[in-house]
């Protein structure tokens, strides 16, 4: 079974980087540039993992995470915040919004892939 991942990030270069890093292990990667696009994608796709930028142009990633965690069909989906925002208290705010994990940019390739694998393995166990 190929794993499905949705990447939500407004930066085209970040989307390209995530797609590259995730395509190498053979994951099915979908992307969205904002919360509205993500919601449209999620009508059709039920990914095993969502990588969420917290600073989006329309609805911020924390608000979108709260909304997704209230949806019974997506509640169990792992959401990992991947953000350049690394101020004191940011991780706590993200966790309070419902993210399952938190990783700061710039990414370290091995740590990023290990984190993705950890969440996908967890999803398989469910």
Q: Give burial (CB, 10 Å; 0-12/13-18/19+) of 42.
A: buried
Distance CA 117, CA 111 (A): 10
Residue 31's domain comprises: 4-125
Please tell me the total count of domains within the chain: 1
The tokens describing 125, both together, are: 């166990």
Task: Give the tens place of pLDDT for each residue, 80-112.
Answer: 999 887 778 889 999 999 999 999 988 899 999
Task: Give the tens place of pLDDT for each residue, 10-64.
Answer: 999 999 999 999 987 889 999 999 999 999 999 999 999 999 999 999 899 999 9
The tokens describing 17, both together, are: 């980087």
Position 122 pLDDT exceeds 80: no
CATH no. for residue 12? 3.40.50.2300
């Amino acid at each position: 079974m190929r794993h499905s991942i949705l990447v939500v990030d407004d930066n085209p270069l970040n989307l390209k980087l995530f797609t590259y890093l995730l395509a190498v292990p053979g994951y099915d990667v979908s992307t969205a540039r904002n919360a509205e696009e993500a919601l449209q994608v999620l009508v059709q796709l039920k990914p095993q993992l969502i990588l969420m930028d917290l600073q989006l142009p329309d609805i911020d990633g924390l608000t979108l995470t709260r909304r997704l965690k209230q949806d019974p069909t997506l509640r169990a989906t792992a959401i990992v915040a991947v953000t350049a925002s690394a101020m004191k208290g940011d991780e706590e705010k993200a966790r309070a919004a419902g993210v399952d994990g938190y990783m700061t940019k710039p990414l370290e390739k091995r740590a990023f892939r290990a984190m993705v694998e950890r969440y996908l393995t967890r999803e398989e166990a469910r």
